[in-house]
Amino acid sequence: TTGFGIHPALLDASLHALGLAAEQDSTVLPFSWQGVTLHATDAARLRVRITRMGADSVALELADQSGLPVLTVHDLAFR
């Protein structure tokens, strides 16, 4: 995890659940990120909360093992 605010592989793994949050039966991919805040660095494990904001967007809250915020995304649109 050294050298990254949040390791790309860890962020990618946290987004895999987007398929469950999507209303479509097809695969969705992140498209537009709004309101992104990095709260902490060097996290090795994350807890992820995905909140549906609309048919094609979600909000994300990523926290470390102790529940402290690591990254928040107010609106992530997917296509």
Q: Using 50, 70 and 90 to split pLDDT, how confident is the model at 72? A: very high
Q: Which pTM was predicted?
A: 0.86
Token readout for 43 is 């996290």
Q: What's the residue count for the chain? A: 79
pLDDT tens digits, residue range 15-70?
A: 887 766 556 667 778 999 999 999 999 888 999 999 999 888 999 999 999 999 99
Return the ∠ at Cα 57 (arms to 51 and 59), rounded to 5°: 35
**Cα 56 from Cα 1, distance rounded (Å):** 30
Q: What is the pLDDT of residue 78?
A: 86
Q: What is the pLDDT of residue 22?
A: 57
Q: What is the pLDDT of residue 1?
A: 58
Q: What is the pLDDT of residue 20?
A: 65
